[in-house]
Amino acid sequence: MPKINAPTIDEHKTRTRNALLEAGADSFARYGLSGTSIGMLADVAGIARTTVYEYFPNKEAVLAALIDERLPQIVDQVVDDLPDGDPLARVEVMLERSLRFVDVHPVETVLLFRVSRELPKPERDAAWSVFDRVRDEVIALCHEGVASGQFPDSDPVSLGRIITDQLVGGIDELSVRSPAASDAVVKSRLTFLRNGLTARE
């Protein structure tokens, strides 16, 4: 049994779980879900392999915990405290924040937008539900934009889903490009969004 490097059992458990999550973040980001084993997580965390199962039933649960515990705070940074302005301006801020989070949180980007794709569909859908708050806020802004006449006369829900797909597509593109490409990708996505939302027949 590993030595307890903590003043209490509870603190030891907390530190061990955190070490497992850190091991998971590093290993999943480097090797993907399929390339990571329970033994690898144990080795990186510095614990016995059997100890892993005291905290998580499998490596998929480690990934799910990482997404559940790290991503909501990042999503909050995308949605919270939007500046005053018309719906288009606020959607643009959300898109830029979403794309910039690739540079600020590269590991979390890989976990959600790459590694989670290896999960079975129910678990993958659960992981991606963390992004629902962004989609819902975009849809709400589309309702405002359509009602005010700023956006094209269309179904706000469908329009919001299209914009959210643009956000995800941009994040996906940035996750495989060099950081030097960030400004160009952000600019092209913002231009595409602006042109699409202000186009008139």
Instruction: For each of the domains in the chain, give its residue range(s) and CATH number, in order of start.
Output: 9-56 (1.10.10.60), 69-198 (1.10.357.10)
Q: What are phi and psi of 84, to 5 degrees?
A: -65, 150
44: CB partners within 8 A, 6+ apart: 22, 23, 26, 27
Q: Which of 9-13, 14-18, 173-177, 178-182 has the lowest mean pLDDT?
A: 178-182
Q: Which two tokens stand for residue 19?
A: 């070490």
pLDDT for 4 equals 45
CA–CA distance, 131 with 106 (Å, rounded to integer): 16
Would you mind telling me the total number of residues written for the chain in this entry?
201
pLDDT over 60 at 1, yes or no:
no
Q: Are 34 and 58 in contact (CB under 8 A)?
A: no
Q: What is the pTM of this model?
A: 0.86
